[in-house]
A and B are shown apart, each in its own frame.
Chain A
Amino acid sequence: MEIVFLAFILMLSIFLGFELINKVPATLHTPLMSGSNAISGITLVGALTSAGAEHSGLATILGTIAVAMATINVIGGYMVTDRMLAMFKKKGGAK
């Protein structure tokens, strides 16, 4: 049952993703990519539990590296997206 439940969530999320992104204008393609890239850093959540749980030495090491990598992805991704979007301006007439 667990598998069916997870498969349902997966399927619905994929369809939702398609619907959400379908009509994004070309102007925003780069920020969309770096912004969604930052979301893929969600794997950080998984890394936190691996790094913090006391399983074995190796799992902790792997988890810690994963935390560092995913944090780069998250912090860097959101910051650079914000920097980019701050530049997108629409001006009425001359400046």
Chain B
Amino acid sequence: MGIELLVNMSYVAAAVLFIFGLKMLGSPATARKGNLVSALGMFVAVVITLLDQSIIDYKWILAGVVAGGAIGAIVARRVEMTGMPEMVALFNGFGGVASLLVGWAALYGFEANTFEMITIILSILIGGVTFSGSMVAWGKLSERISGKPMVFGGQRVFNILLIVAIIAASAMFTLYPESHLYLYLVIGLALLLGIMLVIPIGGADMPVVISLLNSYSGLAACAAGLAINNIILIVAGALVGASGIILTQIMCKAMNRSLSNVLFSGFSAVSAGGAAAKIEGEAKAMTAEDAYYVLEAAASVVIVPGYGMAVAQAQHVVKELQELLEKNGAEVVYAIHPVAGRMPGHMNVLLAEADVSYDLLLEMDAINPRMETFDVAIVIGANDVVNPAAREMEGSPIYGMPVINVDMARNVFVMKRSMASGFAGIDNPLFFKENTRMLFGDAKEMLGNIIKAFN
């Protein structure tokens, strides 16, 4: 009893540390400390668990911790900031599979009653979906598989049948826990469901998927906690689950779409119906040198980065340009759309890596009201998040989505590799506006050329 009480009281302490850690993660000034506080909570929970009397053999634990710790540390140290979205997806997946295995292993510990069987199955299901879904997301983000939505006829029917099959297999397994056939069936179907849920989602919707999978990984831990009757798993898992859901909501709102719309119908399905309005006009290209003359005379510049900046690894050159413009007496700020890039806050991390002060990174709602006052807006590898069609063209699939109104600035420079439409496959009338000039080419190279003109 004595040790059990100590263990449980320490879990309370760990929960307090997690809560404070998460709270401190909410402000840039305390975030780093908050992460350490939360890590301390994890340390307390793990160490105290090792005192648990049911643990009699430490060698396998040691093997697992050493192997996992080494891999985790190496990956965390090596990963490029541009590779952050796929790494988060990968870690999500590992958390999910761990919960699946914990639920599975719980089957052998004791005679499970019906409630415990249900929680075990839940942790296997959620863990499995998290794992395979995250692996597909990882494949899409790292471009190992195509980032385009994969849709086939009868997909919806197939998914419904899949869910029915999962419920049936779970029910059979609860009734006949000795039969491993049903267990393997549940695991296999859960993995299949995870794949089916993520393949129809396109690259531009990845911020939503990552947030959702993040939430699932928490819920999986939570279900595993219910299965093995461990309170710290329930509390910590629920905290993560809730935070993931909030991020998911923020991302959906930023795209003016409901969660079910993101999950079940790619942009492609929508645009087929509403291609009513036609955009006419001619995009006007300009050279880096012309851009330099305008920028040299500008008193205020707003930079709008998108996924293209990440692809071109252009964040450091962007910072260089910012310094040159500031030396030239101009005010420079950045406007960040919530879904720019492939994960929530993607652009902010890249610019932080390039040493851009975070108070220069303005959110969409802060920048839009004063967009008219800017002499130049530079769009770097962003497309859909600056598309004025969202405001003006009722037939457009993205109509109603809040965008950064760069077209209201006096001059707009768009850096883009070609005239091809963005990830969502929608034409962008911004390119044909009177005040827009296109700089075709690799963003990094283009910025380099402008910087050369300054020197």
Contact = CB atoms under 8 A, between A and B. Distances in A.
Interface of A: 2-3, 6, 9-10, 13-18, 20-56, 58-60, 62-91, 94-95
A50 B109 contact: yes
Given A34-B88, A50-B105, A55-B108, A85 B32 contact: yes
B244 interface: yes
A40 B221 contact: yes
Given A6-B226, A26-B344, A43-B98, A67 B60 contact: yes
A31 B344 CA distance: 9
Interface in B380-432: none
10 contacts: A31-B349, A32-B345, A34-B87, A37-B240, A50-B106, A52-B60, A63-B105, A65-B101, A85-B32, A90-B29
Given A26-B344, A48-B55, A90-B28, 4 more contacts: A31-B349, A35-B38, A72-B94, A88-B28
B54 A32 contact: no
Contacts of B211: 33
Given A27-B28, A35-B25, A76-B76, A10 B238 contact: yes
Contacts of A20: 19, 22-23, 26, 239, 242-243
A93 to B, nearest CB: 9
B64 interface: yes
A72 B267 CA distance: 35
Contacts of B238: 10, 13-14, 17
Interface string B73-101: 10111010100100110011011011101
Nearest to A18: B242
Nearest to B230: A46
A64 B243 contact: no
Contacts of A52: 50, 52, 54-58, 60-61
B308 interface: no
Contacts of A27: 28, 336, 345, 348, 358, 361
B376 interface: no
Given A35-B25, A39-B236, A75-B73, A85 B64 contact: no
A82 B336 CA distance: 22
B49 interface: yes
Nearest to A77: B91
From A43, A49, A67, residue with most partner B Cβ within 10 Å: A43
B71 interface: yes
From B28, B35, B42, residue with most partner A Cβ within 10 Å: B35
B42 A47 contact: no
A24 B26 contact: yes
A87 B72 CA distance: 20
B445 interface: no
B247 interface: yes
Interface residues of B, number: 112
Given A26-B348, A89-B352, A68 B247 contact: no
Contacts of A31: 25, 31, 35, 345, 349
B233 A76 contact: no
Given A27-B361, A50-B102, A17 B241 contact: yes
A53 B109 contact: yes
B242 A17 contact: yes
Nearest to A78: B39
B233 A43 contact: yes
A92 to B, nearest CB: 9
B363 interface: yes
B35 A78 contact: yes
Contacts of B98: 41, 43-44, 47, 66-67, 69-70, 73
B352 A71 contact: no
A30 B358 contact: no
Contacts of B441: none
Contacts of A17: 22, 238-243, 246
Contacts of A72: 68-69, 71-72, 75, 91, 94
Given A21-B243, A31-B25, A72-B75, A42 B236 contact: yes
A24 B246 CA distance: 10
B225 interface: yes
Nearest to B357: A91
B341 to A, nearest CB: 9
B344 A9 contact: no
Given A13-B235, A69-B68, A80-B87, A48 B348 contact: no
The 3 nearest A-B residue pairs measured at CB: A17-B242, A71-B68, A67-B64
Contacts of B25: 24, 28, 31-32, 35-36
Contact of A35 (B35, B56, B109, B230): B35
Contacts of B21: 35, 39
B344 A33 contact: yes
Contact of B358 (A60, A90, A95): A90
From B29, B99, B230, B346, residue with most partner A Cβ within 10 Å: B99
